[in-house]
């Protein structure tokens, strides 16, 4: 009777929550509790002990899930409070992480999109200058000089820079996408479906997996982004602003006819290279640490979280395959 009362109480869990994803999760717990209650009642009515024992066993699993959700509600509120105070404009963990990603992408001085634009503009100009060749021919006698050919040495590093910055942009957009998906669905759909699936023995693995994915996407990805941002802020505060900025490299025009005989185009290429090398220090930190390491860290934390949580949920899923996408 005591356990039946407990099941009955579970059905009223929604009243304990204000709304939002917490209400949906509570509803899922109530649905699961209802299923178990019916199973227990059928077992009791027909005198099938095994059914009653199974219901009791499953009830313990449901209580464990309920505790996990309660822990999540409390933990999420604490994390939201902490992340909201980071001053990035977000009201909760997810919004704060999105603000950080947006800033990393579009910051006027050190944003990835600005750096990518600078790299491609420099690359475009360098290619134009390096392509200039001077030709002179009369009655099939003449010459062709590639006096600006010195610029072509810059094309390879600029292409490589473009691919590295492009990769960072892609990673940042992918993290933003995962956070946006989790904002809309992780806690309001994946978590409750996971709770319901976890109630049934044969779908416990899938249920545990969905719960783990929901929690990891909702909390661990944004937490990873913010964790990296905190490290970046600490480093910038210690090392100074020399590690945060954009590209100011300019490319001089090259006249292929003026330098014939003295290789006049070389000086402009050397000046461009010198400027580019000076800019690299502040750009490399932005691109590799803020733009690349942050998302990689967040994804690794998420996959590690899924593995740990599925193990906690009763069905260990090896998600190393997801980690390989990094």
Partner 1 sequence: MVDTCAISGFDGIMENTIMPLSAMATIASALICGFTYMISQVITNPKLSLWAKTEAVQLIFSAGSVFLLIMLMNTFCTMKVSEVASLFGKSSDSISVYDAAAKYLADAGYYSIRALTVVRFHLEAYSVLGALSVFECEFAGGIGCLFGYSGTNIQALGGYGAHQAALGIFFNSTIMSVISALNFLFILQYVYRGFVVMFLPLGIFMRSMPYMRTFGALLISVSISFLTVYPFLLSVFYIMEDAILDKPAYEPGSFGDYYDETIYSEGGAGESLEAAVAGTDAVYENYFPNGDNAAGAMMFAVYAFIAAVFLPTAALLGTIGTIAYLTRMYGEEIDLSRILQMV
Shortest Å distance, C-beta 300 to partner 1: 14
Shortest Å distance, C-beta 14 to partner 1: 12
Query: Between residues 31 and 44, which has the closer beta carbon with respect to partner 1?
Result: 31
Query: Between residues 68 and 132, which has the closer beta carbon with respect to partner 1?
Result: 132
Query: Between residues 1 and 15, which has the closer beta carbon with respect to partner 1?
Result: 15
Token pair for 11: 């059905």
The span from the CA of 90 to the CA of 134, in Å, is 57
Using CB atoms within 10 A of its CB, is residue 181 exposed (0-12), middle (13-18) or buried (19+)? middle
Q: Is the dihedral of CA 85, 89, 94, 100 positive or negative?
A: negative
Q: Is the dihedral of CA 72, 78, 81, 87 positive or negative?
A: negative
Shortest Å distance, C-beta 274 to partner 1: 19
Query: Between residues 5 and 140, which has the closer beta carbon with respect to partner 1?
Result: 140
Shortest Å distance, C-beta 242 to partner 1: 24
Among candidate residues 242, 246, 247, the one with its CA nearest the CA of residue 272: 247
Shortest Å distance, C-beta 2 to partner 1: 28
Q: Three-class SS of residue 117?
A: helix
Please state the φ and ψ torsions of residue 145, each to the nearest 5 degrees. Answer: -120, 130
Query: Between residues 109 and 163, which has the closer beta carbon with respect to partner 1?
Result: 163
Look at the chain and count its residues: 326
Among candidate residues 29, 17, 32, the one with its CA nearest the CA of residue 73: 17
Query: Between residues 121 and 234, which has the closer beta carbon with respect to partner 1?
Result: 121
Shortest Å distance, C-beta 140 to partner 1: 8
Q: Would you say 95 and 155 are in contact if contact means Cβ atoms under 8 Å apart?
A: no
Q: Would you say 55 and 43 are in contact if contact means Cβ atoms under 8 Å apart?
A: yes
Shortest Å distance, C-beta 203 to partner 1: 6
Q: Three-class SS of residue 79?
A: helix
Helix (H) or strand (E) holding 144: strand 141-145
Query: Between residues 124 and 278, which has the closer beta carbon with respect to partner 1?
Result: 124
Shortest Å distance, C-beta 241 to partner 1: 25
Query: Between residues 138 and 237, which has the closer beta carbon with respect to partner 1?
Result: 138
Among candidate residues 69, 74, 83, 73, the one with its CA nearest the CA of residue 33: 69
């Amino acid at each position: 009777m005591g356990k039946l009362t407990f099941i009955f109480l579970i059905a009223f869990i929604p009243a304990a929550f204000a709304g939002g994803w917490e209400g949906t999760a509570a509803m899922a717990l109530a649905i699961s509790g209802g299923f178990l209650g019916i199973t227990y009642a059928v077992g009791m009515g027909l005198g099938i002990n095994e059914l009653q024992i199974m219901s009791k066993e499953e009830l313990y699993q449901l209580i464990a899930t309920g505790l996990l959700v309660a822990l999540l509600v409390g933990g999420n509120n604490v994390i939201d409070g902490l992340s909201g105070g980071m001053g990035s404009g977000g009201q909760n963990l997810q919004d704060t992480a999105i603000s950080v990603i947006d800033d990393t992408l579009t910051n006027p001085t050190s944003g990835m999109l600005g750096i990518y634009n600078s790299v491609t503009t420099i690359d475009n100009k360098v290619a134009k200058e390096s392509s200039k060749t001077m030709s002179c021919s009369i009655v099939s006698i003449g010459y062709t000089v590639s006096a600006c050919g010195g610029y072509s040495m810059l094309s390879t590093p600029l292409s490589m820079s473009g691919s590295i910055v492009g990769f960072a942009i892609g990673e940042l957009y992918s993290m933003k996408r995962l956070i946006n998906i989790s904002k809309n669905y992780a806690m309001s759909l994946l978590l409750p479906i996971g709770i319901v699936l976890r109630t049934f023995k044969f779908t416990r693995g899938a249920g545990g997996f969905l719960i783990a994915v929901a929690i990891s996407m909702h909390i661990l990805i944004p937490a990873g982004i913010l964790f990296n941002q905190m490290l970046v802020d600490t480093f910038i505060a210690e090392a100074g602003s020399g590690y945060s900025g954009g590209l100011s490299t300019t490319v001089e025009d090259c006249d292929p006819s003026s330098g014939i005989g003295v290789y006049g185009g070389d000086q402009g290429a050397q000046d461009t290279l010198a400027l580019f090398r000076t800019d690299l220090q502040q750009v490399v930190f932005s691109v590799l640490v803020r733009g690349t390491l942050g998302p990689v860290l967040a994804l690794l934390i998420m996959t590690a979280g899924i593995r740990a949580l599925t193990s906690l949920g009763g069905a260990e899923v090896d998600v190393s395959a997801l980690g390989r996408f990094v």
